[in-house]
Amino acid sequence: MRVKGKILAVDDDPNNITIVEELLEDNYDLKTAASGQEALDIARDFRPDVVLLDIMMPGMSGYEVCRKLRERYTPQQTKIIMVSARAMVSELNEGYDAGADDYITKPFEGDEFLEKVRLHLLPKNTQEADQAQDDFILTTSEAIL
């Protein structure tokens, strides 16, 4: 059985959330949040593999949310992709400095968006597969001895 990747999409614009839902909800375990605090609350129990994070939100910015998520999760546990209309190099750098793994500029093209999400899920799935294989080999060799 294939395990679906867990994705948390954070954006205060309902139209943007609708677009992300249309692209992702059939193939991934998707949760959404409309604010930074809501995202942090959901992430605590949901433990997303990927967070799609808007930058400009009322209250807590995406940069602040990214820093708080990085206090809880390493890049190996959770990938953070900033999704924003802000595309200046200084803004991209601020996202990377806050702990983001990647950046998608709005408006985005659906296929490119899906490919970036898929690629950020691959390393985690590969690591889990490698660990499962190592565990199996260790268990098998112990049983033989």
At 1, the pLDDT band (50, 70, 90 cuts) reads very low
How do residues 98-120 score in pLDDT, each as one tens digit? 999 999 988 888 888 999 999 98
CA angle 77–86–108, rounded 5-degree value: 70
Residue 67 pairs with which residues in a beta bridge?
none
Say whether pLDDT at 126 is over 80: no
How do residues 42-60 score in pLDDT, each as one tens digit? 999 999 999 999 999 989 9
Say whether pLDDT at 11 is over 70: yes
- pLDDT at residue 108, rounded to an integer: 87
CA distance 44 to 24: 21
**Contact between 83 and 52 (Cβ < 8 Å):** yes
CA distance 58 to 99: 20
